[in-house]
Structure 1
């Protein structure tokens, strides 16, 4: 039996994604946080799509293009989410990104205003790992969305009038 390495990789990534997504949903079940629902659902849904890919029968190029575009657009749109926090002995911190903050700046000074000015002067810092996770989660969401739309469209076309 000859099994392609791409199929083995797809099944492995699909199973890991489905397992991690369901675990995420179960572990955050009592949380009313939209981010937790998005992360768990995107991972579980994307994993399920990868595992059932041979039964879905949609054009691969279209699905890949939509997933990549969704990953990039979703991550860019996530930069609109902003959080500012203060704490400790006059610390000021600002972060951007959704579902995870991957751009941030912050500082500690003698008062909050001085800490804010110093953080703004220092500029933004980037967390590459969180950026990769954000792009991946948005790509998973795009994958699930394009497959759902494709299946509904195909079913409506095949249904007799």
Structure 2
């Protein structure tokens, strides 16, 4: 083989997405060095780590279906759990905004009024609005985090099993 053999479409997509994710995660971490916030570190590490897992997928001795399913469940579960994160602010003579979601707020409501109390009351009476793009990014970041957790956990479990097999039972 000369190295010019064809690769499958799924492998090509996986490598492309992995490379883009790794690059985006590292870029995100570098661009946010001036102010270290948990959200920025989480997003950067999740993207970079998930991209690295996708790039090294063929070297990982784990079930693709199991890892994919677990990453999907963690992605949806993390997004749902992120709704417990709440932010609210009053600004600018007088606007009130409330948002939910972590690492990105994808659910929000707000209002503008003559007084801060009135703005808050109007916002509470208003329905929640959601952002499809922020929700997509939130689920994706959580899925990448889940991918990393499952892969690291699976590799640690496999290493512990091998160590137990080579050393024998503890006395």
In the alignment of these two chains, the number of paired residues is: 161
What SS does the aligned partner of 2:99 have? strand
How many angstroms does 1:32 deviate by? Answer: 2.2
Of the three residues 15, 19, 30, the one matched with 2:19 is 15
How many angstroms does 1:54 deviate by? Answer: 0.2
Unaligned runs of 5+ in 1: none
Structure 2 residue aligned with 1:108: 112
Measured against aligned partners, the alpha-carbon deviations of 1:94-152 in whole angstroms (never above 9, x if no partner) come to 00000010000000011111111111112101011000000000000000000000111
Structure 2 residue aligned with 1:65: 69
Structure 1 residue aligned with 2:92: 88
Unaligned runs of 5+ in 2: none
Task: Give TM-score scaled by structure 1 length.
Answer: 0.98
Task: Give TM-score scaled by structure 2 length.
Answer: 0.92
Runs of 4+ in structure 1 displaced over 4 angstroms? none
Structure 2 residue aligned with 1:24: 28
